[in-house]
Amino acid sequence: MYEWWQRGVVYQIYPRSFQDSNGDGIGDLPGIISRLDYLVDLGIDAVWICPIYPSPMADFGYDISDYRNVDPQFGTLADLDRLIAELHRRNLKLILDFVPNHTSSEHPWFQASRRSRHDPKRDWYIWRDAKDDGQPPNNWLSEFGGSAWTWDEDTRQFYYHAFLAQQPDLNWRNPRVREAMFDVMRFWLARGVDGYRVDAIHLLVENESLPDNPPNPDWHAGMSPARRLLRMHTADLPDTHALIPEMRKIADEFTARVLIGEASVPVERLKHYYGQALEGFQLPFNFHLMRTPFEALPIASLIRRYEAALPPGGWPNWVLGNHDRSRLRSRLGGAAQSRLAAVLLLTLRGTPTLYYGEEIGMGDVVVESDAVRDPWERNVPGLGLGRDPCRTPMRWSAAAGAGFTSGVPWLPIGGNLDERNVATQRDDPSSFLSLYRNLLALRRAEPALHVGEYREVWVDEQCLVYERTQDARRLLVALNFSDTSCPLPAQEPLRACLSTHAPVRTAEQKSTLLPFEGIILEPCN
Ligand code: NOJ
Ligand code: CA
């Protein structure tokens, strides 16, 4: 009665950084295929791979110049077909990125569109005249710095781009654009892809009359310059919500497919991405854990707010890291905190998405300014916005190139390689990898964890305790967010099934939580 995307755990791969197979320092599809048994052993259920389509790589694949092929850096269509087959043979699902908001400026559609004002593809993008003084049509800002409008000298108009100038926004009000993009969706679904993570969905459609966005009273130096303005007329508009069920209809032409929406909106707005009758995305991403202080009270209150904001029957999901955010270990301040976060992520109600490398406790890698690759860091340097540090190569071993590449990796491998790699951690019961493997195995074995009800049992400044139940089975999760021990707030004798501090099953009764300890417990009788 539950779908695979409800029961399972999604593992996110940044393809440039997972496994290089040909020594060019860039991860690729044959590389991923060679590591599938690792993913089986880890115990995840679905793999989401960031864009692998032909791209000039201005935004490392989020600028697509051909929606129906594979970039040669990553391999071939035949490799993709083989990846699908090899995943399915192992009972794993494949989720690809669908990037509907923008193409690359090198996509033939945009090349045609910019050729002349009268080209049939002109209206596939968002072109507007300059103001009388030659300025852009309004004050809208690009996420990656500067105006969201770029002047085209040949045809003497501006085009709109929510991201880089090399990522012009498609005009989703044009029915021909919609049909073309729906056909792109069908192309990969028909090849056997199990679903999409839909990029930047909240930015799909803008206010057609182009009013200025108002200033953001909470903006301060140090924040992204794009946040100087509230995105009142550029994000989360009703016209965008109305298009989501259309995408869902395409996915539903096939069986058992999932759509995950990258909707970066407040908890209370997520319902618009599910649709009133759940006719929208099955899983609008919930990024709020990444924005909430890693403390018991704020997290408990977030869980309450999120659960309360879900539309009836809407399935929850949780994200703690991705290719746009600082890694857990660096963000939360240490290994103990990130181990605790693993227990949280994998025991909350709803589908978790796990970012590659977190399972071996990778942290952000320092990328020197001459090695910066991310266009955001290049455009808006020094504010810590750059995403290279969380996109560095997966560490398979302590060998040169970390077992990732025999060549020069596209981003640095970073320090602490001896300890933070798969080979070293594989047989160490106290390692990050063992903790994740045990957590994933327990989550899979226990319906209470993967589909059970959630109930808050206790929360104070130090710790949070909740219960997950399914039929007669009841498990408790106790998380100590502080650096001091505390008594386990429990009204009955409990024994640990798994702990961040002793990740093997112990029959022992527990009454104390160690600093930053996370435990999954069962009643003694
Ligand atoms: C969100 C993606 O996660 C990010 O990596 C990308 O730069 C933007 N969308 C633009 O596609
Ligand atoms: Ca390669």
Interatomic CA distance for residues 93 and 195, integer angstroms: 8
Interatomic CA distance for residues 103 and 34, integer angstroms: 30
* pLDDT score of 112: 98
C-alpha dihedral sign at 485, 490, 493, 495? negative
C-alpha dihedral sign at 17, 394, 263, 384? negative
Amino acid at 470: Q
> Tens digit of pLDDT for each residue in 113-156?
999 999 999 999 999 999 999 999 999 999 999 999 999 999 99
Q: Which residue has the tokens 């995105």?
A: 231
Q: Which residue has the tokens 């850096």?
A: 73
Helices then strands, each counted (H, E), the chain? 15, 19
Candidates 425, 454, 455; CA nearest to 437 is: 425
Task: Please give the mean pLDDT across all residues of the chain.
Answer: 97
Q: How far is CA 493 from the centre of its chain?
A: 38
The CA 454 to ligand 2 mean position distance, Å, reads: 43
Q: Which ligand is nearest to the CA of 410?
A: 2
Half-sphere exposure of 218 (CA within 13 A, CB side): 2
Which strand (E) or helix (H) includes residue 241? helix 238-251
Strand partners, 474: 469
Interatomic CA distance for residues 464 and 445, integer angstroms: 23
Amino acid at 46: A
Best of 324, 378, 390 to mutate for ligand 1, by most ligand atoms within 8 A of CB? 324
Exposure letters 114-138 (e unless 16+ CB within 10 A, then b): beeeeeebbebbbbeeeeeeeebbb
CB count within 10 Å of CB 345 equals 21
Question: Are the C-beta atoms of residues 515 and 484 closer than 8 Å to each other?
Answer: yes
Report, as an integer, the average pLDDT of 452-474: 98
Residue 250 corresponds to which tokens in the numbers above? Answer: 């395409």
Residue 238 dihedral angles phi and psi, to the nearest 5°: -55, -35
> Tens digit of pLDDT for each residue in 393-447?
999 999 999 999 999 999 999 999 999 999 999 999 999 999 999 999 999 999 9
Torsion of CA 403, 408, 412, 416, to 10 degrees: 40
Question: Are the C-beta atoms of residues 377 and 361 closer than 8 Å to each other?
Answer: no
Q: Which atom of ligand 1 is nearest to the CA of 376?
A: 7
Residue 177 dihedral angles phi and psi, to the nearest 5°: -65, -45
Exposure letters 369-384 (e unless 16+ CB within 10 A, then b): eeebbbbbbebbeeee
> Tens digit of pLDDT for each residue in 322-333?
999 999 999 999
User: Could you tell me where in the chain the CATH 3.90.400.10 domains are found?
Assistant: 108-160
Kindly report the pTM of this predicted structure.
0.98
Candidates 62, 2, 12; CA nearest to 200 is: 62
Q: Which atom of ligand 1 is nearest to the CA of 62?
A: 11
User: Under CATH, domain 453-523 is a member of which superfamily?
Assistant: Golgi alpha-mannosidase II (2.60.40.1180)
Within 8 A by CB and 6+ apart from 71, the residues are 52, 53, 54, 55, 57, 61
pLDDT of 361 higher than 70: yes
Question: Are the C-beta atoms of residues 507 and 476 closer than 8 Å to each other?
Answer: no
Q: Which residue has the tokens 């006719």?
A: 279
More confident residue, 502 or 44: 44
User: Could you tell me where in the chain the CATH 2.60.40.1180 domains are found?
Assistant: 453-523
More confident residue, 297 or 506: 297
pLDDT of 485 higher than 80: yes
- pLDDT band at residue 490, thresholds of 50, 70 and 90? confident
Q: Are strands 473-480 and 463-470 parallel, antiparallel or unpaired?
A: antiparallel
* 3-class DSSP state of 374: coil
Q: Which ligand is nearest to the CA of 374?
A: 1
Interatomic CA distance for residues 459 and 300, integer angstroms: 7
DSSP string, 10-23: EEEE-GGGT--SSS
- Minimum CA distance residue for ligand 1 atom 4: 324
Candidates 311, 324, 36; CA nearest to 197 is: 324
- pLDDT band at residue 256, thresholds of 50, 70 and 90? very high
Interatomic CA distance for residues 5 and 317, integer angstroms: 10
pLDDT of 254 higher than 80: yes
Candidates 168, 169, 157; CA nearest to 130 is: 157
**Pocket of ligand 1 from Cβ distances under 6 Å:** 59, 62, 99, 163, 199-200, 262, 323-324
Residues noted as catalytic = 199, 253
- CATH fold of 4-103+174-439: TIM Barrel (3.20.20)
The CA 4 to ligand 1 mean position distance, Å, reads: 26
Q: Which residues surround ligand 2, an ion (CB under 5 A)?
A: 20, 22, 24, 26, 28
Question: Are the C-beta atoms of residues 250 and 261 closer than 8 Å to each other?
Answer: no
List the Cα angle 51/173/62 in 5-degree steps: 15
> Tens digit of pLDDT for each residue in 340-352?
999 999 999 999 9
The CA 464 to ligand 1 mean position distance, Å, reads: 33
* pLDDT score of 507: 61
- Minimum CA distance residue for ligand 1 atom 9: 200
* pLDDT score of 57: 98
- Minimum CA distance residue for ligand 1 atom 10: 62
* pLDDT score of 491: 84
Q: Which ligand is nearest to the CA of 21?
A: 2
> Tens digit of pLDDT for each residue in 145-193?
999 999 999 999 999 999 999 999 999 999 999 999 999 999 999 999 9
Which strand (E) or helix (H) includes residue 504? none
Question: Are the C-beta atoms of residues 193 and 94 closer than 8 Å to each other?
Answer: yes
List the Cα angle 258/263/268 in 5-degree steps: 110
* pLDDT score of 525: 75
> Tens digit of pLDDT for each residue in 285-316?
999 999 999 999 999 999 999 999 999 999 99
108-160 CATH pick, 3.90.400.10, 3.20.20.70, 3.40.50.720, 3.40.1790.10: 3.90.400.10
Within 8 A by CB and 6+ apart from 7, the residues are 45, 450, 451
Question: Are the C-beta atoms of residues 61 and 462 closer than 8 Å to each other?
Answer: no
Report, as an integer, the average pLDDT of 10-16: 99
Best of 62, 63, 287 to mutate for ligand 1, by most ligand atoms within 8 A of CB? 62
